[in-house]
Structure 1
């Protein structure tokens, strides 16, 4: 094993799913590694034993890592002396290997910049607020390219802005962002429906319109179906939790592919091509939903692909 240098890593080391003898669950051990300092809050020296580049996880070994925070054990446990605590550390540690999640690399932040930039650019070129129709592309891009894309990226091991947070926090952030995204696309759909009614134009007569309404329906139904992933007991007779997660992730990915395609089709509309000609600017707009779809596709297939699911099944056996 080689020692971690302070210039290589920074972040939060978390000891997860560890128990005392007797299966008494304890809180996670968190050790902060500073960029300019080799000290940690537990005064333990981390060492790298393995690196999993696919999941951006580094397995770290802490010599004598306890099952609860070292400082808490030393300072707050009045029933133990420091010497007895040290002895307990060496005899009670059941696992020394803990996952270290690397913070997002600057290159991985591109998806977030593109997500925000696309919405702002659409709002600018479409002069949002000058007409009822101008709100349609704004709310649709806000819902799909920002909220729903960010909701999925929450679970990305390389691009998540909350990678160091517990999974429960990520799940809550995911459904909040997804709910905001569904609300936005519903508002956008209502706006275009009302606008066409006022103009006396037919609905869903183009591929953009037809697939757009299909995408809105898919988002709404998928959001409702997500409740069964949060409360799997209602379907335990039909699916395991792992199967529900795989279905939810796969259908969600296909739904995002559909929505990204609808956004790109919208760029071919007369309303958009009047303000952005088919040149470099137009291709720059079209590349954003495509890049997001590829990034999210890679994320989901890596986490829930056949090889991953097969491995999990074998582990359960």
Structure 2
């Protein structure tokens, strides 16, 4: 017989003390992810010195869009989200869409500056792993945005299609975020970044995007992706 209780390995066999410890660790982790997303974007703004060249806007726009806006848009639905957010789900969805639109605008702007910079310097396009991964990230981002846009019209979709579309939206969003994380890490192997950041600080920059990615992955898999049913 199959019960209606969803199986979750998180917290299994934990006592009350261990549960509260886990809850505090989760709250601290989500809070740290917010701080790292904002801090990383600020550091990229300082390093790129926007306005000094066409290329200087590319790192700022991409980190603002994918590292900050996308992280906040996903963790907005976490129970440990910022206290200033709306408590109602409708309000959170509205803020989620605003952040996602800002992310798409920032990503498009960053891509435009990169294309313009390479055209001016007559350098080839799609010549590095960073650029290839970046293009894959943009494709996955557009797919998840398309699935999300369809969810705004549930009456047109019909009840049977909604759960599957929500799953597609969550899955594409997670893939897009993980691709964005890998793309950011690949950017740190480019000539520009290695000439700008050296020594132990370079290793710190490489590791920084990993922590928010782990927090986001844990949140999406636990909150949106299907779980196994408990068999009795």
C-alpha distance 231-208 of structure 1, shift in aligned 2 (>3 A): same
Aligned equivalents of 1:160 and 1:211: distance in 2?
Answer: 31
> Is 1:155–1:163's contact at 8 Å kept on the other side of the alignment?
no
**Match for residue 193 of structure 2?**
272
**Match for residue 281 of structure 1?**
201
Aligned equivalents of 1:228 and 1:248: distance in 2?
Answer: 9
Bigger mean CA deviation after superposition, 252-261 or 106-115:
106-115
Asked which structure has the greater CA Rg, the reply is 1
Unpaired segments ≥5 residues, structure 1: 1-49, 58-101, 312-317
Unpaired segments ≥5 residues, structure 2: 1-15
**Match for residue 297 of structure 1?**
217
Question: Runs (4+) of structure 1 moved beyond 3 Å?
Answer: 104-108, 159-164
Superposition TM-score, scaled by structure 2 size: 0.83
**Match for residue 247 of structure 1?**
168
User: Are residues 1:147 and 2:95 paired?
Assistant: no
Deviation string 1:140-196 (CA, Å, 9 cap, x unpaired) is: 000000011110010112244456610001111111101100110110001100111
Question: Displacement of 1:130 after TM fit?
Answer: 1.1
C-alpha distance 240-162 of structure 1, shift in aligned 2 (>3 A): farther
| Correspondence 1:174-185 to 2 at 5 A | 174-185=96-107
> Is 2:58–2:113's contact at 8 Å kept on the other side of the alignment?
yes
| Correspondence 1:84-163 to 2 at 5 A | 105=27, 108-162=30-84
Question: Displacement of 1:207 after TM fit?
Answer: 1.0
Deviation string 1:234-286 (CA, Å, 9 cap, x unpaired) is: 3327x432222222111110111011110110011000110101x32112212
Aligned length: 214
Structure having the higher strand fraction is: 1
Higher relative contact order (CA 8 A, sep 6+): 2
CA RMSD, aligned part only?
2.7
Decide which of 199, 214, 220 is 2:121's aligned counterpart. Answer: 199
Question: Displacement of 1:230 after TM fit?
Answer: 1.8
Aligned equivalents of 1:183 and 1:297: distance in 2?
Answer: 24
User: Are residues 1:209 and 2:140 paired?
Assistant: no
Superposition TM-score, scaled by structure 1 size: 0.62
